[in-house]
Amino acid sequence: MIRLSARSASSRLACVATLLVFSLPALQAAAQDQAPTGADVAAPAPAAAPVFPKPDPANFTATTPTKETVNAFLQTSWGYDENRMWQVQAILKTAVEGLSKVVVYVGDKSGKQKPGVFPFFVLADGKHIIAGNDIVSFGEHPYADTRAVLQKRADGPFRGGPAKDLELVEFADFQCPHCKLAQPNMEKLAADFPKARIVFQPFPLVAIHPSAALAAAYASCVAKNAGNDAFFLFANTVFEGQDGLNTPDGATLTLNSAVTKAGLEPAKIAACAETPAAKAQVEAWIALAKDLDINETPMLMVNGRMVPIGGIPYDTLKQIVAFQAKLDGVSQ
């Protein structure tokens, strides 16, 4: 799946990679035609908590993954939501050696949403699944590898604590309207998780935002010359004047004004932004996002867990961060 744009409401529902923000009707609509024979009985409409059909042992023909592994994976992915319930309905062999098909029924304990069916394929390595159009890390600790990459390579300006025990890495584009809208929630996270290391990782979507790379280069130079506090002042000012980035002359005025607001000399930062070092930094930021298969902004990585924050209610976002911290044994 390639999306070089901020999320629309429909793409948020279609992105399986996060395993976080589905509504149950969306799961059902996306997956109901993919359930295997013998496991595709429509899940019942709930009056209260749904009662799923009893799994048929005949639908557990694959030796891997085990039901315990699938449940551990889903608990890690969905356990932040106390109302979420599920049942592993089938783990089936396929015609491809080592490729198993898993079918999960998903419901809402409150009965407010209609149950859904969530199928996915587990690859032979046991570490990845195919869900919809996405390849997603799988297992009891599916975010560990991504977390390690981010701890090593996420080098954007940060605020909060210096330790990386709880690291929130925000991939954002200065010209992305949804990134601007996400900033109040990032401010709330900084207040609610003061020990967290919160990294702003610029990711300019150059194919659709012509001023984004220049804004990222300016941001690199501001941080290099004046530190993290100056960067966040600069970033907030750029977001406030985001519409000015829509034209070349407006971008220059907007960025220079933000530099002045941050207490720096615009001519010095503008010159810095044109240097090979600044451009190389921006390319490295883009490369990190691509290496992690991040194709859209804003995207928040919570200890390696991918959370598309455009449109997620703050209470849900806070639940996810707190839940992941607990999973990782982090004191908040």
Residues 50 and 169 sit within 8 Å (Cβ to Cβ):
no
Spell out the domains of the chain, with CATH numbers in brackets.
9-140 (no CATH), 145-327 (3.40.30.10)
37-43 long-range contacts (CB < 8 A, ≥24 apart) are: 38/90, 39/89, 39/90, 39/92, 39/103, 40/103, 40/117, 43/105, 43/107, 43/114, 43/115, 43/116, 43/117
Please report the pLDDT score of residue 310 as a whole number.
86
Kindly give, in sequence order, each residue whose CB lies less than 8 Å from that of residue 277, ignoring residues fewer than 6 positions away. Answer: none
pLDDT at 40: 53
User: What phi, psi does 152 have (nearest 5°)?
Assistant: -85, -35
Q: What is the pLDDT of residues 249-289, one digit of tens each?
A: 999 999 999 999 999 999 999 999 999 999 999 999 999 99
pLDDT higher at 111 or 191: 191
Mean pLDDT over each residue of the chain, to the nearest integer: 89
Task: Please state the pTM of the whole predicted model.
Answer: 0.86
Confidence category of residue 47, pLDDT binned at 50, 70, 90: low
DSSP string of 11-24, one letter each residue: HHHH--TTSSS--H
**pLDDT > 70 fraction of the chain, expressed in percent and rounded:** 86
CA distance 26 to 38: 22
Total count of residues recorded for the chain: 332
Cα 142 from chain centroid (whole Å) = 13
- pLDDT tens-digit series, residues 113-133: 889 999 999 999 999 999 998
Three-state secondary structure along 296-323? CCCEEEECCEEEECCCCCHHHHHHHHHH
89 vs 27 pLDDT, higher one: 89
Q: In this model, does residue 85 exceed pLDDT 60?
A: yes
Residue 111 is predicted with a pLDDT of: 85
The secondary structure of 31-53 as a DSSP string is: HGGGPPTTS-PPPPPPSSS--PP
43 pLDDT band, cuts 50/70/90, is: low
Stretch 75-94: mean pLDDT, rounded?
96
pLDDT surpassing 80 at residue 16: no
Query: What would the DSSP string read from start to end of 169-238?
Result: EEEE-TT-HHHHHHHHHHHHHHHH-TTSEEEEEE---TTT-TTHHHHHHHHHHHHHHH-HHHHHHHHHHH
- Quick: pLDDT tens for 297-317: 999 999 999 999 988 999 999
Whether 166 has a pLDDT exceeding 90, the answer reads yes
